[in-house]
Amino acid sequence: MTSHPAVFLDLQGTLGGNGLGNILDFEFFPQAIPAIELLNSSGLAAIVVTNQGQIGRGIFSYAQYLQRVDELQQVLGNAHLHLDAFYCCPHRRDEGCACCKPRPGLLLQAQQDFQLDLSTCYMVGDTGAWDMLLARAVGCHAVLVRTGLGESSLGEFRPTWADFEADFIAEDVLEAVRWIVKDVRGLV
């Protein structure tokens, strides 16, 4: 297992866009770029985990998704930044696959690929019912951001994850990453 924890990042609503948006329209939130920079400079793997059920519904193709991921990596590359990997569930939620968040398939694949100890990793996302419950399913730290669907996850949708508490609630992904870096260093 690796000695450095990874930070799993939800895409839409956490790094940019909105909680229900289409990746083809995705743009990074302004605070996402310094958050990724802090992860890169801290030596923490930054791994995107995203449900893209629009692929399974035929709204766009997996090839279009991959093309958009390449474009996003180019945007980051122009700033000398990177995301270490993208893990995507392309299935419709009703297909019952193992990878649709909150099911653990995406994180278990990343665990294998990166030789991670999931108990030292962090899941950052804007949905309690998907991202926070995914963190609970694999035993990693849970950080909820208030962007995207975060406010509604703390309000009207709180009953969907009522039996679980996030380790930290952040205004946005940059505040989340700052907290994670301090936590990893034992400063929290």
Q: Which domains does the chain have, with CATH numbers?
A: 6-184 (3.40.50.1000)
Residues 25-37 have a mean pLDDT of 96
Longest dimension (CA), the chain: 46
* 172 phi, psi to nearest 5 deg: -155, 180
Confidence at residue 128, expressed as pLDDT on a 0 to 100 scale: 96
The two structure tokens encoding residue 71: 């474009």
Distance CA 142, CA 40 (A): 20
Q: Which amino acid is at 180?
A: I
| Selection from 115, 126, 161 nearest residue 49 by Cα | 126
Q: What is the pLDDT of residues 6-16, one digit of tens each?
A: 999 999 999 99
What is the per-residue pLDDT across 83-113, written as a single tens digit (0 to 9) for each? 999 999 999 999 999 999 999 999 999 999 9
Q: What is the mean pLDDT of residues 36-54?
A: 97
Query: Which pLDDT belongs to residue 3?
Result: 58
Tallying the residues shown for the chain, one arrives at: 188
Q: Contact 68/60 with Cβ under 8 angstroms?
A: no
Q: pLDDT averaged over the chain?
A: 94
User: Tell me: the pLDDT tens digits for 120-140?
Assistant: 999 999 999 999 999 999 999
Helices (H), the chain: 32-42, 53-56, 62-78, 105-114, 133-138, 150-154, 173-184
Which pLDDT score is estimated for 186?
Answer: 86
